[in-house]
Amino acid sequence: MTKYIIEGGRPLFGEVEISGAKNAAVAIIPAALLTRGVCRIENVPQISDVTLLLQILEQLGASIRVLNRHTVEIDCTRIRSARTNYDLCQKIRASYYLIGALLGRFGEAEVAMPGGCWFGGVRPIDQHVKGFTALGAGVTVEGGFIRARASGGRLKGANIYFDVVSVGATMNVMMAAVTAEGVTVIENAAKEPHIVDLANFLNSMGANIRGAGTDTIKIQGVSRLTGGTYAIIPDQIEAGTYMAAVAAAGGQVLIKNIIPKHMDCITAKLREMGVEVDEHEDTLLVRRTGSLRKTNVKTLPYPGFPTDMQPQITTVLTLAKGTSLVTEGVWNGRYRYVDELNRMGASIQVEDKTAVVEGVEHLTGAPIKAYDLRAGAAMVIAALAAWGESEITGVQYIERGYEAIVDKLRRIGADIRAVYEPDAVIERIG
Protein backbone atom coordinates (compact mmCIF):
# COMPACT_ATOMS: atom_id res chain seq x y z
CA MET A 1 0.00 0.00 0.00
CA THR A 2 1.28 3.45 -0.87
CA LYS A 3 0.38 6.65 0.89
CA TYR A 4 1.22 10.25 0.12
CA ILE A 5 2.78 12.58 2.65
CA ILE A 6 2.21 16.25 1.83
CA GLU A 7 3.57 19.27 3.67
CA GLY A 8 1.10 21.95 2.63
CA GLY A 9 0.96 25.72 2.51
CA ARG A 10 3.44 26.16 -0.36
CA PRO A 11 2.30 27.98 -3.50
CA LEU A 12 2.89 26.16 -6.79
CA PHE A 13 5.11 27.54 -9.57
CA GLY A 14 6.25 26.10 -12.90
CA GLU A 15 4.83 23.99 -15.71
CA VAL A 16 2.79 20.82 -15.82
CA GLU A 17 2.26 18.61 -18.86
CA ILE A 18 -1.21 17.08 -19.14
CA SER A 19 -1.51 13.42 -20.19
CA GLY A 20 -4.01 11.77 -22.52
CA ALA A 21 -7.62 11.64 -21.35
CA LYS A 22 -8.43 8.68 -19.11
CA ASN A 23 -12.09 8.52 -20.05
CA ALA A 24 -11.24 8.56 -23.76
CA ALA A 25 -8.46 5.97 -23.38
CA VAL A 26 -10.66 3.51 -21.50
CA ALA A 27 -13.07 3.48 -24.47
CA ILE A 28 -10.56 3.71 -27.32
CA ILE A 29 -8.48 0.75 -26.10
CA PRO A 30 -11.47 -1.65 -26.08
CA ALA A 31 -12.56 -0.18 -29.44
CA ALA A 32 -9.38 -1.64 -30.96
CA LEU A 33 -11.20 -4.99 -30.69
CA LEU A 34 -13.45 -3.91 -33.54
CA THR A 35 -10.77 -4.38 -36.17
CA ARG A 36 -8.40 -7.05 -37.40
CA GLY A 37 -5.93 -4.31 -38.30
CA VAL A 38 -3.17 -2.91 -36.08
CA CYS A 39 -4.13 0.18 -34.03
CA ARG A 40 -1.31 2.44 -32.99
CA ILE A 41 -2.58 4.65 -30.18
CA GLU A 42 -0.59 7.68 -29.06
CA ASN A 43 -0.88 9.95 -26.01
CA VAL A 44 -2.05 7.00 -23.89
CA PRO A 45 -1.96 7.96 -20.19
CA GLN A 46 0.19 5.77 -17.94
CA ILE A 47 -2.45 4.95 -15.35
CA SER A 48 -3.56 1.72 -13.74
CA ASP A 49 -6.96 1.64 -15.51
CA VAL A 50 -5.14 1.56 -18.87
CA THR A 51 -2.77 -1.18 -17.70
CA LEU A 52 -5.75 -3.30 -16.64
CA LEU A 53 -7.56 -2.86 -19.96
CA LEU A 54 -4.44 -3.81 -21.91
CA GLN A 55 -4.13 -6.93 -19.74
CA ILE A 56 -7.75 -7.82 -20.49
CA LEU A 57 -7.13 -7.51 -24.24
CA GLU A 58 -3.97 -9.60 -23.92
CA GLN A 59 -5.91 -12.30 -22.07
CA LEU A 60 -8.37 -12.31 -24.97
CA GLY A 61 -5.47 -12.99 -27.35
CA ALA A 62 -4.51 -9.51 -28.54
CA SER A 63 -0.87 -8.73 -29.15
CA ILE A 64 0.21 -5.53 -27.42
CA ARG A 65 3.45 -3.70 -28.15
CA VAL A 66 4.42 -0.78 -25.96
CA LEU A 67 6.43 1.48 -28.31
CA ASN A 68 7.22 4.17 -25.76
CA ARG A 69 5.78 5.60 -22.52
CA HIS A 70 2.65 6.88 -24.25
CA THR A 71 2.30 4.82 -27.44
CA VAL A 72 0.91 1.31 -27.75
CA GLU A 73 0.20 -0.87 -30.73
CA ILE A 74 -2.77 -3.19 -30.35
CA ASP A 75 -3.36 -6.03 -32.76
CA CYS A 76 -6.61 -7.91 -32.15
CA THR A 77 -6.40 -9.99 -35.36
CA ARG A 78 -6.02 -13.33 -33.60
CA ILE A 79 -8.76 -12.94 -31.02
CA ARG A 80 -11.26 -15.76 -31.40
CA SER A 81 -13.21 -15.64 -28.15
CA ALA A 82 -15.66 -13.04 -26.89
CA ARG A 83 -15.35 -14.28 -23.28
CA THR A 84 -13.32 -11.96 -21.05
CA ASN A 85 -11.39 -12.63 -17.85
CA TYR A 86 -13.66 -12.34 -14.82
CA ASP A 87 -11.12 -11.20 -12.24
CA LEU A 88 -9.61 -8.47 -14.40
CA CYS A 89 -12.94 -7.13 -15.71
CA GLN A 90 -14.59 -6.78 -12.37
CA LYS A 91 -11.77 -4.52 -11.19
CA ILE A 92 -12.60 -1.76 -13.62
CA ARG A 93 -15.85 0.01 -14.33
CA ALA A 94 -14.89 0.79 -17.91
CA SER A 95 -14.80 -2.94 -18.75
CA TYR A 96 -18.41 -2.38 -19.83
CA TYR A 97 -17.00 -0.96 -23.08
CA LEU A 98 -15.85 -4.49 -23.92
CA ILE A 99 -19.51 -5.43 -24.38
CA GLY A 100 -20.08 -2.92 -27.19
CA ALA A 101 -16.73 -3.64 -28.82
CA LEU A 102 -17.08 -7.45 -28.70
CA LEU A 103 -20.69 -7.29 -29.91
CA GLY A 104 -19.53 -5.15 -32.83
CA ARG A 105 -16.71 -7.55 -33.71
CA PHE A 106 -18.22 -10.98 -33.01
CA GLY A 107 -21.94 -10.38 -32.56
CA GLU A 108 -21.56 -11.68 -29.01
CA ALA A 109 -19.92 -10.69 -25.74
CA GLU A 110 -19.39 -12.16 -22.31
CA VAL A 111 -18.03 -9.67 -19.81
CA ALA A 112 -17.80 -9.93 -16.02
CA MET A 113 -19.88 -7.41 -14.17
CA PRO A 114 -17.71 -4.84 -12.43
CA GLY A 115 -17.98 -4.46 -8.66
CA GLY A 116 -21.04 -2.71 -7.31
CA CYS A 117 -24.60 -2.85 -8.44
CA TRP A 118 -25.31 -2.97 -12.15
CA PHE A 119 -29.05 -2.78 -12.61
CA GLY A 120 -31.13 -0.24 -10.79
CA GLY A 121 -28.30 0.43 -8.38
CA VAL A 122 -25.94 3.30 -7.84
CA ARG A 123 -24.34 3.07 -11.29
CA PRO A 124 -26.91 1.36 -13.52
CA ILE A 125 -26.30 0.30 -17.13
CA ASP A 126 -29.92 0.00 -18.16
CA GLN A 127 -29.38 2.51 -20.98
CA HIS A 128 -26.48 0.44 -22.39
CA VAL A 129 -28.75 -2.61 -22.33
CA LYS A 130 -31.59 -0.63 -23.92
CA GLY A 131 -29.28 0.32 -26.77
CA PHE A 132 -27.92 -3.20 -27.36
CA THR A 133 -31.43 -4.62 -27.26
CA ALA A 134 -32.66 -2.06 -29.80
CA LEU A 135 -29.79 -3.18 -32.07
CA GLY A 136 -31.14 -6.73 -31.88
CA ALA A 137 -29.04 -8.29 -29.11
CA GLY A 138 -30.38 -10.50 -26.37
CA VAL A 139 -28.79 -9.46 -23.04
CA THR A 140 -28.76 -11.57 -19.86
CA VAL A 141 -26.85 -11.64 -16.58
CA GLU A 142 -25.73 -15.08 -15.44
CA GLY A 143 -23.04 -16.33 -13.10
CA GLY A 144 -21.52 -12.87 -12.64
CA PHE A 145 -21.23 -12.34 -16.39
CA ILE A 146 -23.25 -10.13 -18.66
CA ARG A 147 -23.91 -11.98 -21.91
CA ALA A 148 -25.04 -10.29 -25.09
CA ARG A 149 -25.71 -11.98 -28.41
CA ALA A 150 -26.94 -10.57 -31.70
CA SER A 151 -29.76 -12.60 -33.18
CA GLY A 152 -28.56 -13.81 -36.57
CA GLY A 153 -24.94 -13.02 -35.62
CA ARG A 154 -24.93 -9.36 -36.66
CA LEU A 155 -26.55 -6.31 -35.06
CA LYS A 156 -29.07 -4.24 -37.00
CA GLY A 157 -29.18 -0.44 -37.01
CA ALA A 158 -32.00 1.18 -35.02
CA ASN A 159 -33.27 4.47 -33.59
CA ILE A 160 -32.34 4.73 -29.92
CA TYR A 161 -33.54 7.44 -27.55
CA PHE A 162 -31.69 7.48 -24.23
CA ASP A 163 -33.81 8.32 -21.20
CA VAL A 164 -30.81 9.86 -19.45
CA VAL A 165 -27.71 11.48 -20.90
CA SER A 166 -25.08 8.80 -20.39
CA VAL A 167 -21.44 8.97 -21.45
CA GLY A 168 -20.97 5.22 -21.11
CA ALA A 169 -24.15 4.22 -22.93
CA THR A 170 -23.45 6.64 -25.79
CA MET A 171 -19.92 5.29 -26.34
CA ASN A 172 -20.86 1.64 -25.83
CA VAL A 173 -23.76 1.72 -28.28
CA MET A 174 -21.66 3.73 -30.75
CA MET A 175 -19.05 0.94 -30.72
CA ALA A 176 -21.64 -1.79 -31.19
CA ALA A 177 -23.37 0.10 -34.01
CA VAL A 178 -20.36 0.88 -36.23
CA THR A 179 -20.43 -2.56 -37.78
CA ALA A 180 -24.21 -3.11 -37.56
CA GLU A 181 -26.27 -3.54 -40.70
CA GLY A 182 -27.89 -0.24 -41.69
CA VAL A 183 -28.25 3.09 -39.90
CA THR A 184 -28.33 3.75 -36.17
CA VAL A 185 -29.48 7.07 -34.74
CA ILE A 186 -28.72 7.81 -31.09
CA GLU A 187 -30.83 10.63 -29.63
CA ASN A 188 -30.20 12.43 -26.33
CA ALA A 189 -26.56 11.40 -26.68
CA ALA A 190 -23.83 12.65 -24.33
CA LYS A 191 -21.56 15.35 -25.80
CA GLU A 192 -18.35 15.09 -23.75
CA PRO A 193 -15.03 15.61 -25.56
CA HIS A 194 -14.25 11.89 -25.17
CA ILE A 195 -17.41 11.01 -27.14
CA VAL A 196 -16.03 13.03 -30.06
CA ASP A 197 -12.60 11.47 -29.54
CA LEU A 198 -13.96 7.93 -29.74
CA ALA A 199 -15.97 8.83 -32.86
CA ASN A 200 -12.86 10.34 -34.47
CA PHE A 201 -10.86 7.22 -33.63
CA LEU A 202 -13.53 4.93 -35.10
CA ASN A 203 -13.91 7.12 -38.21
CA SER A 204 -10.14 7.04 -38.68
CA MET A 205 -10.50 3.24 -38.91
CA GLY A 206 -13.24 3.47 -41.54
CA ALA A 207 -16.42 3.88 -39.48
CA ASN A 208 -19.09 6.33 -40.61
CA ILE A 209 -20.22 8.33 -37.57
CA ARG A 210 -21.66 11.83 -37.83
CA GLY A 211 -22.92 14.25 -35.18
CA ALA A 212 -20.68 13.20 -32.26
CA GLY A 213 -20.54 16.19 -29.91
CA THR A 214 -24.23 17.00 -30.55
CA ASP A 215 -27.18 15.23 -28.99
CA THR A 216 -27.97 13.27 -32.15
CA ILE A 217 -25.39 10.82 -33.48
CA LYS A 218 -25.93 9.03 -36.79
CA ILE A 219 -23.97 5.89 -37.57
CA GLN A 220 -24.01 4.21 -40.97
CA GLY A 221 -22.85 0.65 -40.34
CA VAL A 222 -19.84 -0.63 -42.30
CA SER A 223 -18.87 -4.25 -42.84
CA ARG A 224 -15.32 -3.94 -41.52
CA LEU A 225 -12.82 -1.52 -40.01
CA THR A 226 -9.11 -1.15 -40.70
CA GLY A 227 -6.23 -0.31 -38.38
CA GLY A 228 -4.57 3.09 -38.11
CA THR A 229 -2.75 5.61 -35.94
CA TYR A 230 -4.58 7.87 -33.53
CA ALA A 231 -3.61 10.28 -30.71
CA ILE A 232 -5.91 10.56 -27.69
CA ILE A 233 -7.02 14.06 -26.63
CA PRO A 234 -5.61 15.69 -23.48
CA ASP A 235 -7.36 15.01 -20.18
CA GLN A 236 -9.81 17.81 -19.35
CA ILE A 237 -10.20 16.62 -15.75
CA GLU A 238 -6.50 16.18 -15.06
CA ALA A 239 -5.93 19.73 -16.34
CA GLY A 240 -8.83 21.03 -14.24
CA THR A 241 -7.41 19.29 -11.18
CA TYR A 242 -4.06 21.09 -11.53
CA MET A 243 -5.91 24.38 -12.11
CA ALA A 244 -7.84 23.77 -8.89
CA ALA A 245 -4.60 22.94 -7.07
CA VAL A 246 -3.14 26.33 -8.07
CA ALA A 247 -6.39 28.06 -7.06
CA ALA A 248 -6.28 26.45 -3.62
CA ALA A 249 -2.54 26.61 -2.88
CA GLY A 250 -1.77 29.85 -4.76
CA GLY A 251 1.06 30.47 -7.21
CA GLN A 252 1.34 30.47 -11.00
CA VAL A 253 1.46 27.40 -13.22
CA LEU A 254 1.47 26.90 -16.98
CA ILE A 255 -0.80 23.96 -17.83
CA LYS A 256 0.53 22.46 -21.09
CA ASN A 257 -0.92 20.17 -23.75
CA ILE A 258 -4.59 21.04 -23.31
CA ILE A 259 -7.50 22.04 -25.54
CA PRO A 260 -8.67 25.40 -24.08
CA LYS A 261 -12.22 24.95 -25.44
CA HIS A 262 -12.63 21.79 -23.33
CA MET A 263 -11.60 23.78 -20.27
CA ASP A 264 -14.14 26.64 -20.69
CA CYS A 265 -16.59 25.33 -18.07
CA ILE A 266 -13.81 25.07 -15.47
CA THR A 267 -11.97 28.25 -16.50
CA ALA A 268 -15.20 30.29 -16.20
CA LYS A 269 -15.84 29.12 -12.61
CA LEU A 270 -12.27 29.74 -11.49
CA ARG A 271 -12.37 33.25 -12.97
CA GLU A 272 -15.60 33.95 -11.05
CA MET A 273 -13.67 33.01 -7.93
CA GLY A 274 -10.90 35.51 -8.68
CA VAL A 275 -8.35 33.15 -10.24
CA GLU A 276 -6.59 34.56 -13.33
CA VAL A 277 -6.55 32.24 -16.34
CA ASP A 278 -4.80 33.26 -19.59
CA GLU A 279 -5.61 31.08 -22.59
CA HIS A 280 -3.11 30.30 -25.33
CA GLU A 281 -3.24 27.86 -28.23
CA ASP A 282 -2.66 24.68 -26.21
CA THR A 283 -1.75 26.02 -22.78
CA LEU A 284 -3.39 27.85 -19.90
CA LEU A 285 -1.55 30.10 -17.45
CA VAL A 286 -3.27 29.90 -14.07
CA ARG A 287 -2.43 32.43 -11.37
CA ARG A 288 -3.86 33.06 -7.91
CA THR A 289 -2.44 35.87 -5.85
CA GLY A 290 -5.39 37.42 -3.94
CA SER A 291 -8.20 35.88 -1.94
CA LEU A 292 -10.89 33.64 -3.44
CA ARG A 293 -14.52 34.71 -3.92
CA LYS A 294 -17.53 32.47 -3.25
CA THR A 295 -19.52 31.09 -6.17
CA ASN A 296 -22.21 28.50 -6.88
CA VAL A 297 -21.54 25.44 -8.99
CA LYS A 298 -23.92 22.89 -10.49
CA THR A 299 -22.54 19.84 -12.24
CA LEU A 300 -24.17 18.88 -15.53
CA PRO A 301 -23.36 16.84 -18.63
CA TYR A 302 -20.93 18.59 -21.02
CA PRO A 303 -20.71 21.51 -21.76
CA GLY A 304 -21.82 22.02 -18.15
CA PHE A 305 -19.43 21.93 -15.21
CA PRO A 306 -18.11 18.32 -15.01
CA THR A 307 -19.12 16.09 -12.12
CA ASP A 308 -15.57 14.70 -12.20
CA MET A 309 -14.38 18.15 -11.00
CA GLN A 310 -16.98 18.48 -8.24
CA PRO A 311 -14.82 17.31 -5.29
CA GLN A 312 -11.87 19.43 -6.48
CA ILE A 313 -13.87 22.67 -6.91
CA THR A 314 -15.61 22.12 -3.56
CA THR A 315 -12.18 21.87 -1.97
CA VAL A 316 -11.15 25.20 -3.50
CA LEU A 317 -14.42 26.78 -2.30
CA THR A 318 -13.66 25.79 1.31
CA LEU A 319 -11.07 28.59 1.16
CA ALA A 320 -13.25 31.24 -0.54
CA LYS A 321 -14.78 34.20 1.30
CA GLY A 322 -18.50 33.64 1.95
CA THR A 323 -20.90 30.75 1.45
CA SER A 324 -20.96 28.78 -1.80
CA LEU A 325 -23.45 26.17 -2.97
CA VAL A 326 -22.34 23.11 -4.92
CA THR A 327 -25.08 21.00 -6.49
CA GLU A 328 -24.42 17.56 -7.97
CA GLY A 329 -26.54 17.19 -11.08
CA VAL A 330 -25.18 13.94 -12.53
CA TRP A 331 -24.70 11.41 -9.72
CA ASN A 332 -26.61 10.83 -6.51
CA GLY A 333 -24.43 12.53 -3.96
CA ARG A 334 -20.71 11.92 -4.57
CA TYR A 335 -19.97 13.74 -1.29
CA ARG A 336 -18.21 11.03 0.68
CA TYR A 337 -15.02 13.11 0.82
CA VAL A 338 -16.71 15.96 2.68
CA ASP A 339 -16.13 14.45 6.14
CA GLU A 340 -12.42 14.30 5.35
CA LEU A 341 -12.34 18.00 4.39
CA ASN A 342 -14.27 18.91 7.54
CA ARG A 343 -11.65 17.07 9.59
CA MET A 344 -9.11 19.44 8.05
CA GLY A 345 -11.10 22.45 9.28
CA ALA A 346 -13.47 22.99 6.33
CA SER A 347 -17.08 23.88 7.01
CA ILE A 348 -19.33 21.94 4.64
CA GLN A 349 -22.83 20.64 5.17
CA VAL A 350 -24.46 18.33 2.69
CA GLU A 351 -28.19 18.42 2.18
CA ASP A 352 -29.34 15.90 -0.41
CA LYS A 353 -27.52 16.81 -3.65
CA THR A 354 -26.22 20.17 -2.43
CA ALA A 355 -23.14 20.99 -0.39
CA VAL A 356 -23.24 24.26 1.51
CA VAL A 357 -19.64 25.41 1.77
CA GLU A 358 -18.79 28.16 4.22
CA GLY A 359 -15.34 29.51 3.45
CA VAL A 360 -12.68 29.28 6.18
CA GLU A 361 -9.34 31.09 6.57
CA HIS A 362 -7.25 27.94 6.20
CA LEU A 363 -7.27 24.16 6.34
CA THR A 364 -4.92 22.19 8.58
CA GLY A 365 -3.08 19.01 7.65
CA ALA A 366 -4.51 15.69 8.88
CA PRO A 367 -4.48 11.96 8.13
CA ILE A 368 -7.09 11.65 5.36
CA LYS A 369 -8.38 9.00 3.04
CA ALA A 370 -9.09 8.92 -0.70
CA TYR A 371 -12.44 7.17 -1.16
CA ASP A 372 -12.41 7.27 -4.95
CA LEU A 373 -10.46 8.76 -7.83
CA ARG A 374 -11.77 12.36 -7.80
CA ALA A 375 -12.28 12.39 -4.03
CA GLY A 376 -8.60 11.43 -3.88
CA ALA A 377 -7.67 14.34 -6.14
CA ALA A 378 -9.61 16.61 -3.78
CA MET A 379 -7.62 15.25 -0.83
CA VAL A 380 -4.36 16.08 -2.60
CA ILE A 381 -5.55 19.63 -3.34
CA ALA A 382 -6.70 20.13 0.25
CA ALA A 383 -3.39 18.84 1.59
CA LEU A 384 -1.39 21.11 -0.75
CA ALA A 385 -3.30 24.15 0.53
CA ALA A 386 -3.43 23.14 4.21
CA TRP A 387 -1.04 24.27 6.92
CA GLY A 388 1.10 21.41 8.14
CA GLU A 389 1.43 17.77 7.17
CA SER A 390 -1.23 15.48 5.73
CA GLU A 391 -1.02 11.77 5.13
CA ILE A 392 -3.29 10.44 2.38
CA THR A 393 -4.20 6.76 2.24
CA GLY A 394 -6.21 5.00 -0.46
CA VAL A 395 -3.98 6.51 -3.16
CA GLN A 396 -4.45 3.48 -5.43
CA TYR A 397 -7.70 5.19 -6.44
CA ILE A 398 -5.82 8.32 -7.44
CA GLU A 399 -3.35 6.30 -9.51
CA ARG A 400 -6.22 4.79 -11.49
CA GLY A 401 -6.59 8.12 -13.27
CA TYR A 402 -3.68 10.51 -12.65
CA GLU A 403 -0.39 9.77 -14.37
CA ALA A 404 2.72 10.44 -12.25
CA ILE A 405 0.86 12.84 -9.98
CA VAL A 406 3.61 12.89 -7.36
CA ASP A 407 6.33 13.75 -9.90
CA LYS A 408 4.19 16.34 -11.65
CA LEU A 409 3.40 18.08 -8.36
CA ARG A 410 7.00 17.94 -7.15
CA ARG A 411 8.08 19.64 -10.38
CA ILE A 412 5.83 22.61 -9.54
CA GLY A 413 7.22 22.91 -6.05
CA ALA A 414 4.88 20.76 -3.97
CA ASP A 415 6.34 19.01 -0.95
CA ILE A 416 4.82 15.57 -1.63
CA ARG A 417 6.27 12.09 -1.41
CA ALA A 418 4.90 8.63 -1.91
CA VAL A 419 5.71 6.19 0.89
CA TYR A 420 5.35 2.49 0.32
CA GLU A 421 4.27 0.33 3.23
CA PRO A 422 3.98 -3.43 2.78
CA ASP A 423 0.38 -4.61 3.37
CA ALA A 424 1.54 -6.92 6.15
CA VAL A 425 2.75 -4.00 8.24
CA ILE A 426 -0.56 -2.21 7.83
CA GLU A 427 -2.45 -5.37 8.82
CA ARG A 428 -0.33 -5.75 11.94
CA ILE A 429 -0.98 -2.16 12.95
CA GLY A 430 -4.66 -2.92 12.38
Enzyme catalytic residues: 117
Total of residues contacting ligand EPU (CB under 6 A) = 23
Determine the residue with CB nearest ligand EPU.
168
Q: 186 vs 292, which CB is nearer to ligand EPU? A: 186
Strand ranges in 8-123 using DSSP code E only, listed in sequence order: 12-17, 38-42, 63-68, 71-75, 108-112
Chain centre distance of CA 224 = 29
Note whether 125 binds ligand EPU by CB under 6 A.
yes
26 binds ligand EPU (CB under 6 A): yes
Q: What is the three-class DSSP state of 277?
A: strand
**At its nearest, how many Å lie between ligand EPU and the CB of residue 80?**
27
* Dihedrals phi, psi of 2, to nearest 5 degrees: -110, 145
Smallest distance from the beta carbon of 345 to ligand EPU, in angstroms?
26
- Tell me: does residue 374 bind ligand EPU (CB under 6 A): yes
Interatomic CA distance for residues 295 and 302, integer angstroms:
19
Quick one: how far is CA 177 from the chain centroid?
23
Subset of residues 93 to 122 that bind ligand EPU, contact rule: CB under 6 A: 93-94
Closer residue to ligand EPU in complex, CB, 169/284: 169
Nearer of residues 237 and 366 to ligand EPU, judged by Cβ: 237
State which of positions 197-256 bind ligand EPU (CB under 6 A). Answer: none
Specify whether the backbone of 363 is left (phi greater than 0), alpha (psi in -120 to 50) or beta.
Answer: beta
Determine the Cα–Cα distance for residues 182 and 377; give it in Å rounded to an integer: 43
Query: How many Cβ atoms are within 10 Å of 164's Cβ, its own excluded?
Result: 12
- Among residues 44, 76, 150, 169, the one that binds ligand EPU under rule CB under 6 A: 169
Q: Is 29 a binder of ligand EPU (CB under 6 A)? A: no
- Assign 412 to helix, strand or coil: coil
Strand order in the sheet with 323-327: 297-298, 323-327, 354-358, 347-351
x-or-dash pattern for ligand EPU, window 270-309, by CB under 6 A? -------------------------------------xx-
Which parts of this chain interact with ligand EPU (CB under 6 A)?
23, 26, 93-94, 123-128, 164, 166-169, 190, 307-308, 330-331, 373-374, 401
